[in-house]
Structures are given as C-alpha cells and as structure tokens.
C-alpha cells in the first residue's frame, strides 16, 4: 500500500514571487491533461493538420499568467518571446508554420477555443483530479472552507431601457446585477453602497487554511449565491462533505434556510449576520428569563437593578442543541432553535467564531490572485460557455502550480535529509 506523507504547511505566496516563465513552466508540467489532449486530437480527426494540439493547448493554459486577454495579445507575446515558445513546446513544431511564422494563425486558436467549449466538462474533471491531489497531500485539506462569489464583466455593453442591446456586441447569456458593498465611515459606522454590473459570476468554495479552491460554478451575474452554495454541497462526494467542519461566508449568505441546510450536514456555519430587527430595537428577551440578546449574538443577564451584565460563553451542548452561558456562578442555556441565524453551534460572540471568520479573508486573496495573477479583471468575455472555460483554465492553473510547488518542496526536503 502506498503511504503518502501529508504536509501541513503550504504558502501560495511562494509561487507568486516566481518569475513569469518559472510559473508557466510549473503550470504546464503539472496539469493532468492527457485526456483533454487526446480528445482535442480526436476532434481534429483526419482533417487538415494545421496546428499542433499540445503547444497550442499549453499556450492557452498560460494565457492568463502572461496577462493576455485576447488571442492577438497571446500570439504577439509568443512571437517575440523565444523562451515562452520553448516552454509551450512550439520549437518542436516549426514545420507547421514555416520559417516566417513562429506561432499558429488566429484561426487555429479560434478553432481550439470552440472545441474547448464543447468539452468543458473535461476541464472541470481536470480540476477535480488536481483537487484530489490536495486531499491526498495536504493535511486536513477541506476541513475549514469558505464561500464567496465574484462578478466579472461581459464584453458586451448590456441592455438599454427597452430591454434591447445598446450595440451589436450582444451577450444574451449575461445579465445585470446590483452588488452592495459594506464599509466603515470615519466614525466607525458600517455603511453600504450599491453598484450595477453586466456580466457573470463565479461562485467559489475554497479551503481557507491553504487558500486553494475546492469547487466552483459559473453563472450569469444575477444568480443567487446561497443557491449555488447549496448546489455544491448537495452534489459533493459524501466523504468530502463529511470532512468539512466549518463553513464561513459574508452576510450576503445570511439566511435561516441556508444555515439549517448546512447544519444538516454536520457543518458549523460561520456566517456574518444582517440586522433584520426593527429600527431602534437593541435587544430581545430570551423567553421568560432575565436574559437578553442582540441581533449579532451578544448575551446579557439583566440584574435586579435593570443593568445588563455580559454572560460568559461556556460552550455548545450538541445533544441538547443549546449554547451554555455563565453568570454569577450559575449556568444558563439558550436553545439554538430560538433563532438559528443568531445562535449557532459556535457562538457568534466567542473568540473561536471570530478567529474562524477572519480566515474567510482567504477568499478575498484568491479572488485577488485571479484578478492580479490570472488577469481576470481585464478578461471580459461573451457567452456563458466561454466564461466557464476561462474560469476552468484559471482554476486549473492555480491548482497545477500549487501541485508543482508541493512536489518540488517535498523533493527539496528529501534532498536536505539525505545530505544531513
């Protein structure tokens, strides 16, 4: 039986400091793409052998890494960068293009992208194969997860007030959505602002300890985030779902229905909460007791003088589904069913809840990498299938580089042990 030594430390930032060519090489060498290459070769069939599949596919894989958002930009970069052509494998296929043509014509790329849209499920399977490597090699991978959605724009301008496109670059797959942003003003008060977008949204479930994706879906921009999270959880392999201990998300995912579904799977929800109480309502009384609580989970005991006293959180009684609090040497219990948005298995006002929730910033860093390192913010697309292929390629790229980095570090550690 093969014994795999799992590692518990992985830092994606070590990949970010590599040069562009190093990262491209790391990506290409670690993508399990044999099935994809074979299928693309099969689709091309016995027609004109006008382009080599492997280097063309490799150049599509690294396209986001070298900040190329169009085929024209990619071909220009390949034409002037011999090392890049060599990494992709074009040096072995010069006879296809002739001495004056260093890279395939635009039509070759157009054809390949068309075929990639046709076999998109195979791209997702490639991602899942890389994900399996993480489950096997990273200790407790998939235990603490987070969910977030991110909008990216369509190449088309959008619809006008009459519901018609404002120009000929139509995109009937994309749609409008309004995103609300929260921020604190100079007085520390939480404020919000809204912005309108036309495009798509990817919904990302990620490991917040290792900052790596676990699953994702791509939809039009208006599709609800909570439904996509439940879809991923419902479709996830049982053994992988059972690994999940906590799931964190921002207040956009707040909802009693979602929290109940998450708890059904034995997962502890760590989801920020919206204030849905009436204006001016500060606290509510817990049943017919001296205990009151706030909308965000702070719990107090009201003494005979009418003063509120903070109660100490003592833990969660899983059997009775109650939170335990202490005050003045007495223990009190609060049923989670009172309000499952406010009262969760890990109490909202506990340090443990805050520590786990703060890990959710891993989602923001992943989104930042897709924008910055994979050029998503400049990669406007048209059509849901193409949007999905682009996200597939970026997720595959991120995971392939992580895989290569893990393997290289393990070999380096083995070399150090042998030389010691």
pLDDT digits (tens, 9 = 90+) for 160-204: 555 554 544 578 888 888 877 767 778 777 777 888 888 999 999
Percent of the chain with pLDDT over 70: 88
Separation CA 175–CA 180 (nearest Å): 17
pLDDT for residue 49: 59
For 330, list phi and psi in degrees, rounded to 5: -120, 150
CB-CB contact of 54 with 28 (8 Å): no
Instruction: List pLDDT tens digits, range 348-364.
Output: 999 999 999 999 999 99
Of 130, 132, 206, which is closest to residue 366 (Cα–Cα)? 206
List Cβ neighbours of 3 (8 Å cut-off, separation of 6 or more).
none
- The H-or-E segment that residue 400 falls in is helix 384-419
Q: What is the DSSP letter of 204?
A: E
pLDDT for residue 393: 97
pLDDT for residue 221: 93
Partners of 215 in the β-ladder:
205
Separation CA 414–CA 420 (nearest Å): 10
Q: What number of other Cβ atoms are within 10 A of residue 80's Cβ?
A: 10
**144-158, 306-320, 363-377: the lowest-pLDDT one:** 144-158
pLDDT at 2 over 50: no
Residue where the block lists tokens 């969760």: 344
Residue where the block lists tokens 């995971």: 399
Instruction: List pLDDT tens digits, range 236-270.
Output: 999 999 999 999 999 999 999 999 999 999 999 99
Give Cα separations from 384 to 60, 331, 394 (angstroms). 18, 55, 15
Separation CA 311–CA 350 (nearest Å): 11
**Buried/exposed 123-133: b ≥16 CB within 10 Å, e otherwise:** bbebbebbbeb
Instruction: List pLDDT tens digits, range 79-138.
Output: 899 999 999 998 765 545 555 567 888 999 999 999 999 999 999 999 999 999 999 999
Q: Is the dihedral of CA 206, 235, 262, 242 positive or negative?
A: negative
Separation CA 130–CA 61 (nearest Å): 15
CB-CB contact of 148 with 249 (8 Å): yes
List Cβ neighbours of 327 (8 Å cut-off, separation of 6 or more).
301, 309, 311, 312
- The H-or-E segment that residue 315 falls in is strand 312-317
Could you give the angle at the alpha carbon of 81 between the alpha carbons of 76 and 85, nearest 5°? 95
Residue by residue, DSSP assigns 36-82 as: HHHHHHHHHTTS---S-HHHHHHHHHHTTTTT--SHHHHHHHHHH-H
pLDDT band per the 50, 70, 90 thresholds, residue 340 = very high
- The H-or-E segment that residue 417 falls in is helix 384-419
Instruction: List pLDDT tens digits, range 203-239.
Output: 999 999 999 999 999 999 999 999 999 999 999 999 9
Instruction: Indicate the average pLDDT of the chain.
Output: 88
List Cβ neighbours of 295 (8 Å cut-off, separation of 6 or more).
273, 275, 276, 277, 281, 342
pLDDT for residue 155: 80
List Cβ neighbours of 416 (8 Å cut-off, separation of 6 or more).
none
Torsion angle, CA of 129/134/136/138, rounded to 10 degrees?
A: 180
Separation CA 353–CA 345 (nearest Å): 10
pLDDT for residue 236: 95
Q: Pairing relation of β-strands 144-153 and 190-207?
A: antiparallel
CB-CB contact of 320 with 332 (8 Å): no
Q: Pairing relation of β-strands 291-293 and 284-285?
A: antiparallel
Domains and their CATH numbers in the chain: 13-121+402-419 (no CATH), 142-274+357-385 (3.30.420.10), 284-348 (no CATH)
């Amino acid at each position: 039986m093969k014994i795999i030594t799992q590692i518990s430390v992985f830092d994606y930032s070590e990949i970010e400091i590599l040069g562009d060519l190093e990262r491209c090489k790391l990506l290409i060498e670690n993508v399990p793409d044999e099935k994809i290459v074979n299928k693309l070769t099969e689709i091309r069939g016995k027609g004109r052998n006008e382009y080599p599949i492997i280097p063309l596919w490799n150049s599509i894989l690294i396209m986001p890494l070298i900040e190329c958002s169009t085929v024209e930009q990619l071909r220009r970069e390949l034409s002037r960068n011999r090392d890049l052509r060599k990494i992709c494998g074009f040096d072995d296929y010069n006879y296809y293009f002739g001495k004056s043509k260093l890279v395939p014509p635009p039509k070759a790329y157009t054809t390949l992208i068309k075929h990639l849209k046709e076999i998109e499920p195979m791209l997702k399977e490639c991602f899942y194969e890389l994900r399996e490597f993480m489950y096997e090699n990273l200790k407790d991978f998939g235990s603490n997860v987070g969910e977030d959605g991110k909008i990216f724009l369509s190449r088309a301008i959008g619809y006008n007030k009459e519901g018609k496109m404002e120009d000929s670059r139509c995109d009937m797959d994309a749609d409008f959505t309004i995103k609300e942003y929260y921020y604190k003003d100079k007085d520390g008060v939480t404020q919000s602002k809204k912005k309108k977008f036309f495009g798509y949204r990817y919904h990302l479930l990620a490991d917040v300890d290792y900052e790596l994706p676990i699953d994702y879906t791509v939809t039009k921009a208006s599709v609800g985030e909570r439904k996509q999270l439940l879809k991923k959880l419902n479709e996830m392999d049982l053994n992988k779902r059972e690994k999940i201990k906590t799931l964190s998300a921002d207040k956009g995912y707040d909802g009693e229905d979602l929290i109940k579904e998450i708890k059904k799977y034995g997962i502890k929800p760590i989801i920020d909460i919206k204030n849905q109480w009436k204006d001016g309502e500060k606290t509510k009384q817990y049943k017919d007791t001296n205990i009151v609580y706030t909308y965000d989970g702070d719990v107090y005991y009201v003494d005979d003088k009418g003063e509120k006293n903070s109660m100490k959180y003592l833990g969660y009684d899983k059997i009775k589904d109650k939170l335990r609090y202490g005050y003045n040497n007495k223990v009190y219990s609060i049923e989670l069913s009172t309000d499952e948005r406010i009262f969760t298995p890990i109490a909202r006002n506990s340090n443990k809840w805050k520590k786990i929730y703060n890990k959710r910033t891993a989602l923001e860093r992943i989104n930042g990498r897709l924008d910055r390192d994979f050029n998503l913010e400049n990669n406007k697309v048209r059509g849901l299938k193409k949007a999905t292929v682009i996200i597939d390629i970026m997720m595959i790229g991120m995971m392939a580089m992580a895989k290569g980095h893990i393997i290289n570090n393990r070999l380096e550690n083995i070399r150090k042990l042998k030389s010691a």
